Structures are given as structure tokens and as C-alpha cells.
Structure 1
Amino acid sequence: MFDSHVHIIDPRFPLVVNDDYEPEPFTVDDYEAETDGLGVVGGAVVTGSFQGTDQSYLLAALEELGHGWVGVTQLPVDATDDDISALDAAGVRALRFNLRRGVADISSLTEQAIRAHEVAGWHSEFYVDAGLLRSLEPIMSKLPAVSIDHLGMAEEAMPYLLDLVDRGARVKATGFGRISHDPVDAMRRIHAVNPEALMFGTDLPSTRAERRFDVSDLDLVADAVGGDLQAVLFQNARAWYREP
């Protein structure tokens, strides 16, 4: 498995209290213990809103996890091309925009996403409320490579999400405990548009979700994609994150 969505919360590094929420620690050791037996050979460590633009935790996590792991980061608005190149050399492969936890400057967001792709080939990942997704079309239409977190969050997002998939966007089959629509139905519809679009991830430690990842979530993926299970669990994400 290539786990496309993991949060590492290392108490050695600073956190940003967000909406009065501060997550419990979830270290690399915790992650490896919880996923023991799942055949994880790589994945993506995703920066959460509670980590701001700190890169120290991410670089430490990537070094500890080792080969096969990449990073997804948030950048300060004044990040330079050299900053992006240095992070890319350390294994970072994407930008994340968490629009559920704060209001973004749309023009700066678009500029930063385009620049990161031009400098290092990074794609942009969006965590966004279903009702807001369609309003981002002025951004989405300009970005060369995009993925959407957690199956778009709700049924309301699905028509536009499927349109994005048809135009090349990828979708994380993650966070089944935080979405309001049927994950199996959503995955079937996305997979029918583009079999390369879905990328499974555990979303551990499932911060603020109604329920935590469970091994039975893998059965839901299998029900949705049938014989393409290996692609959704491994090949699609590995290719998207440009892992050889």
C-alpha cells in the first residue's frame, strides 16, 4: 500500500491551535504500529492546519519514514523558488490548501500553486467544503495538477468533482469517517470516469473525524473498484506523487 494521506504529529515540534483544537501526538512509531500488517511501503505525510507552515516536523518525519515517503506541505506567502527546490530535494511533492480551516487569498493561492508546479512539478491538494468546491473553478481551471481530499466531503460536491476528474484531477479515497455521503457510491462514480483518479489513504490519526480509519475501510474500496484494487491502493498514488 501507498498511503496517500497521513498526518504525523510529533510533540517535538510546534503546533498552531486551530479553532481551539490541538491534536494529540501521533508519531511515526504510532503510525507504524497501527498499520502493521497492512503492507505499507510508502505514502504521503500531509501537513495539517495545526502545523501551519512549519517544515521542521515534515522533514524529520520523511527522514524517519525513509524510502517511498513524500511530503505535502503548506508554504508561507513569501516562500522563494529556492525554498521550493530545497523542499523538493527533501522529498516534498505537493502543496496543500486547507480551505475548511481558514480563508485564503485566492490570487496568492493561485500564484503559489502555479509557481510550485513550474519550479518543482508539484501538484496542489485541496481540503474544502463540498458547497465551496464549485466556486473554486476560477482557480481550478488555471492549475496544471490538482487533487481533492476526502472524496469531496459530501454528495453536493459530486457533479463538479466528477467534472474535475474528467479533466484530470485526482481524488483521495480517504477520511470515510468525516464525509457525509456514501463512500462506495462516490468511489464507483469517480472510478467510472477515470480509473487512475482514486488514491486510497488511511487519514490517520483521523483528527476531528467522527470515526477513525478501520481496516474494514479497505473492504469498501474493494467493493467500489473490484479488480482495480491494487491500482487504488498503490499504483495510482505512487505515480501521481512521481515515485519511481
Structure 2
Amino acid sequence: MAEVIPFTGHYRHDHREPHGCFDGHLHIIDPRFPLIDNQGYRPAPFTVENYQKATRGLDIRGGAIVSGSFQGTDQSYLLAALEALGGDFVGVTQLPDDISDARLLELDEAGVRAIRFNLRRGGRQDIGAMIRQARRVFDVVGWHCEIYADARHLAPHLTLLRALPAMVIDHLGLSQEGLPTLLALVEAGARVKATGFGRVSLDVPATLAAIADINPHALIFGTDLPGTRAPRPFREGDIELLHNTLGDTNAMLALHDNAVALYRPRGSDSVA
């Protein structure tokens, strides 16, 4: 497992607001539930308790638990984590093609708010089928879709993707080569995870600034903990980078308000 460095001190500048941070991208890896080897990789455990310890001092007021490639379409771990973490947390899941409307409604009631497509780690490559499933899920339960891919590989599908009703791109689109495609999607209404700064091959401050210049409501902060397969995991300076790049007002949109508006956590009335 990548090294996780808990934040137990204070930011160099006191940027924290009363409503805290919403962690828009985290993984819970609970060995009590099924795990799948993906490309020869199986992650080390990272339980709810591990997550709470790793984020001690960050003033986390909710978050999005994201299903990884190594969890397939299993919902059992996700439902257990949502129950443990409470109503300010939501789920982002992977779904089988044959899932019923009734099951979608059950997951929505439990706090799941998005479907994820992992194009980066050997996942679905049929863009047409992906888009059909994303549209169906949006029509039934109003969820957006989240796409983990190098944005440069999305360029041939730009017209189709622009037509999606609601979409989020993970980890700043990963590459400098994908930046034009990423910004074109932002112009079409896509949101972008301000996450995984240790994963990307691009100028993070310049990319954050370019996205915020188009739409300051597009950025969604997340720790990406535990940082599986990342060259370096989240660190406290990533939050400071948001403030220094975006200014405090837009940074707090990215750190909290944008995510709450997008994910609609069950406890959001008490968070916002």
C-alpha cells in the first residue's frame, strides 16, 4: 500500500472554514468483502477506521466513497462503509449492465449518487454502451457518471461525451496531452476531480486555474486516499495548493460546496 501520511498539524495559513471539507474521492478497502486482482494488483486493506485516522485534523464533513477496479460491481463493502461513515458520505459505484431499476432505487436510498466507468485499468472500452448505461442511470435515479481515463483518449468521443447529462472526470484528466479535451468537456458542463496530484503528468496549478477560469463550480476536491498505485499519496500541501492557486473563495467551492451540490448527501442540510 502507498504510504499514507496523516495530517495532524495545521495549514500554514488558516484557511479552514466552519463547514470543513467534503472529500470527493476516497477508497475503502475492507478485506471482509470480495476483492478482485486487477492487472495483477490487489490492494492492502484500508478500512473506515484507517481512513478516519489518516484524515484526523482535516475537518472532513463528508465524502464520496469510490469503487475501485479491484472491487468490481460488489455493493456489499460500499453499503457497509456508508452505514459506518454516516449520512454525510455518499457512494460512487460500478454496476452490471443488467441491474434492475428497483436495485438502482435501493442503492440511491442507501446514499449512492454516481456510477463510475474505469477506462484506465482495463475496464469497459465500449463507449457507446457506457453512454447508454450512464443515460439510463441518470433517467432512473438522477446520478451523474464519473470517468477514470486519460483525457487524451477521450478526444475521439468528445461529441458523444458532451451530450451526457452529468459527468465528472477523475484526477484532472491525468495528462497534459489530454488538457484540451478536458477543458472542452468543462465548457460543456463537466466537473473535474481535483485529486490524485501525485498521479498526473501535467502542471497542476495551471490546470486548476484553467478549469476554474471556465467554471469555478467545476472542481471537486478529494484526498484519493489511500492512493493505491499512486507514485505519491495525498498530503496536506495539496489543500494549500488549492488555496494558493484559486484564492480562498474558489478554493472553498472546490473543497466543499461544489461537491455537496453535486452529490446531495443525505445529511447535507446539516453540512452546508
Using the size of structure 2 for normalisation, the TM-score is: 0.88
CA contact (8 A) 2:93 2:115 kept: yes
Partner of 1:3: 23
Q: Partners in 2 of 1:12 and 1:137 — Cα distance?
A: 40
**Aligned 1:175-190 pairs, distance under 5 A:** 175-190=196-211
Per the TM alignment, residue 162 of structure 1 is displaced from its structure 2 partner at its CA by 1.0
> Which whole-Å deviations, capped at 9, do the CAs of 1:149-178 have from their partners, x for residues lacking one?
000101111112111111111000000010
Residue number in structure 1 paired with 2:261: 239
The size of the alignment, in residue pairs, is 244
Match of 2:170 in 1: 149
TM-score normalised to structure 1 length: 0.97
Q: Determine if the alignment matches structure 1 residue 226 to structure 2 residue 236.
A: no
Aligned to 1:68: 88
2:226 aligned partner? 205
**Structure 2 residue 73 is the aligned partner of structure 1 residue 45:** no
Instruction: Please give the alpha-carbon distance, in whole angstroms, between the structure 1 residues aligned to 2:125 and 2:106.
Output: 24
Residue 213 of structure 1 aligns to a residue whose secondary structure is: coil
In the alignment, structure 1 residue 23 sits paired with structure 2 residue 71: no
Name the structure 2 match of 1:162.
183
Q: Which residue does the alignment assign to 1:111?
A: 132
SS at match of 2:60: coil
The 2-side partners of 1:197 and 1:210 are apart by 26
Q: How far is 1:75 from its partner?
A: 0.2
Structure 2: distance between partners of 1:11 and 1:129: 29
Indicate the larger mover: 151-160 or 134-143. 134-143
Q: Which runs of 5+ in 2 are unaligned?
A: 1-20
**Which letter maps to 1:60?**
A
Aligned mate of 1:81, from 98, 101, 106: 101
Deviation at 1:46, TM superposition (A): 0.2
Per-residue deviation, residues 202-225 of structure 1 (Å, max 9, x unmatched): 000000000011011111111221
Displacement of 1:85 in angstroms is 0.8
Q: 1:15 to 1:149 in 2, by over 3 A?
A: same
The whole-number CA distance in structure 2 between the counterparts of 1:13 and 1:211 is 26
Q: Distance in 2 between matches of 1:208 and 1:87?
A: 28
* In structure 2, distance between residues paired with 1:58 and 1:95: 13
* Rounded Cα–Cα distance in structure 2 between residues aligned with 1:13 and 1:4: 23
Counterpart AA for 2:263: Y
For residues 109 and 141 of structure 1, the distance between their equivalents in structure 2, rounded to whole angstroms, comes to 14
Report how far residue 138 of structure 1 moved.
4.2
Structure 2: distance between partners of 1:50 and 1:135: 27
Residue matched to 2:12? none
**Structure 1 residue ranges (4+ consecutive) displaced by more than 6 angstroms after TM superposition:** none
Q: CA deviation at 1:71?
A: 0.2
Residue 178 of structure 2: SS of its match in structure 1? Answer: helix
